[in-house]
Amino acid sequence: MVMNINTETARLIKSNIEDFGLTEAVVAEKAGIAPSTLRRKLRGESPWTATEVFNIAKVLRIAPSRLLPASFSAVNAA
């Protein structure tokens, strides 16, 4: 089964936002992303940029790699 990197990234980001007890609105504001854009990306309707993932990781104070699927490295290494 082929994984959709955008959908899996969205799942990981949403899960981490919930785990940290933050709202999407707070994360969007602190990451410099419009709330409507973040919602669209979390639904998998729009691709993520490296800057967006990095900024969200910065807000959550975690490594950006925690917000990317494990297979992301394998996909890009091929």
How far is it, in rounded angstroms, from Cα 61 to Cα 50? 16
User: pLDDT digit of tens for each residue in the chain (78 aa)?
Assistant: 446 889 999 999 999 999 999 999 999 999 999 999 999 999 989 999 999 999 999 999 999 999 999 876 655 555
The model's pTM: 0.86
In this structure, what token pair is assigned to residue 20? 């940290």
In this prediction, residue 2 carries a pLDDT of: 46
In CATH, the number for domain 5-77 is 1.10.260.40
